[in-house]
Amino acid sequence: MFTRRTWAETLYVLTGLPLSVLGLVLTMLPLLLGTVLSITFIGLPIAALGVLVARGLGHTHRSLAGALLDLQVSRPAKPRPRRGIIPAVLLDTASWRAVAYVVVKAPLGVATFIASFAFWVYGLLNTAYTLFWWVLSEDQRILLPFGGIRLDHWPIVLLNGLVGLLLLAAAPWVTRGALMLDRWLIRSLLSASTLSQRIRDLEETRALAVDDAAARLRRIERDLHDGTQARMVALAMHLGMAKDELDGEPNLEMTRRLVEMAHHNAKEALVEVRDLARGIHPAALDKGLDAALATLASRSPVPVELSVSLPVRPPQALEAIAYFCTAELLTNIAKHSQASAAKVSVSPDLKITVVDDGIGGAAVTPGAGLAGLRERVSTVDGTLTMSSPPGGPTTVVIEFPA
């Protein structure tokens, strides 16, 4: 009776009554008026206004349920703009489900309020009457909730108080039971449908995949233009100068110097091309993810304990994402964590756990590296979760779909 959950559910019932009744009026008036005026050009916009009010009320009820009932449901996507005279909200299934919830919520809110507060009110009155019976005169000694029944003997008064305590004890459970139907309606009518939610997730991951691919192409173009291309231009220039020297009276010292510079540029270009190719697809991945991660661990400036258990080799796309994410995490550990050791473990279901003993305090902020990793993982329906309390340790878990 004295828990936060009890008071939160009671407050939800109390606030839900006026909100549901007022919401029904604000929704049905425009809908009915719009239906009557549908033969004119203003009927559909008025009806759409009623549906928009229902969507807004649905969002309010979702927020209340999340704050007071700890019920988290996904928000339906906004109606897609459409061409034509019919407003898009009138053709949106989620909007009409919100209208259905508002219509059902009004009588449900009244019934829930009556059922819940009957126990609270009668329990309080019975208990209070028992406490004050001793100071009441004989004319006032009646059972207040029912009236007309005199309580002249203290055993009956104590029994009345016991009934009041039982009503108060049962009130939270009655409230909770009355809210079960409301919880089901919120999940069924105010959340995004499985198909629409899946479509929205696929659209988001497709956009992330396209953006990631475009960013990779821009990075490759930039690296080729600023690095390898400049090296090759210098190589061609030095070879051309050496050729000019050989065509006339050759200066062997100058020719040697030009050939050495051309040779140095050629080696630098080869190194940059090798690094660029490794960034596109590491050669170590040809031998499997375990070998590629072992190469990463050996190159890390922070000592890394590696544990890989992959009886079946994952698809190449998942291997590449797992490799690059692990490489980025190890780079972050070396740069920012001040860690003395790290541990990377890969389970048979391709669950990657990276732990370091650094200072902690890391967070997934928009635009930062960890947010980019989360977006890259989400393109294949994977998830990235992190725990990094101040003082450490930092634990990052990457999970891929089966």
pLDDT in 10s for each residue of the chain, 402 residues: 677 888 888 888 888 888 889 999 998 998 888 888 877 778 888 888 888 898 889 888 888 888 888 888 877 777 777 777 778 888 888 888 889 999 999 999 899 988 888 888 777 777 776 666 565 555 555 544 444 455 555 666 667 677 777 878 888 888 888 888 888 988 888 887 555 555 665 666 666 656 666 666 666 666 666 666 666 777 677 777 777 767 766 667 777 777 777 777 777 777 777 666 655 566 667 788 888 888 888 888 888 888 888 888 887 778 888 888 888 888 888 888 888 888 888 888 888 888 888 888 877 776 666 777 887 787 777 888 888 888 878 888 888 876
CA distance 63 to 74: 11
Whole-number pLDDT of residue 40: 77
Whole-number pLDDT of residue 103: 92
Q: Which residue has the tokens 């609270």?
A: 120
Write out the two tokens for 233. 């231009």
What does pTM read for this prediction? 0.51
Write out the two tokens for 220. 């490759």
Residue 296, judged by CB atoms within 10 A of its CB (0-12, 13-18, 19+), counts as buried
Whole-number pLDDT of residue 265: 74
Q: Residue 182's closest CA among 18, 53, 66, 65?
A: 65
Write out the two tokens for 151. 């309580």
DSSP 241-270: HHHHHHHSS--HHHHHHHHHHHHHHHHHHH
Assign 170 to helix, strand or coil.
helix
Count Cβ atoms below 10 Å from residue 29 Cβ, excluding itself: 14
Residue 319, judged by CB atoms within 10 A of its CB (0-12, 13-18, 19+), counts as buried
CA distance 24 to 41: 25
Write out the two tokens for 52. 């928009």
CA distance 55 to 252: 84
Which residue(s) pair with 353 in the sheet?
345, 397
Whole-number pLDDT of residue 96: 87
**Residue 151 falls in which region: left (phi positive, over 0), alpha (psi -120 to 50) or beta:** beta
| DSSP label of 284 | G
Q: Residue 89's closest CA among 101, 99, 75?
A: 99
CA distance 28 to 50: 7
Write out the two tokens for 106. 């009004």
Tell me which H or E stretch contains 41: none
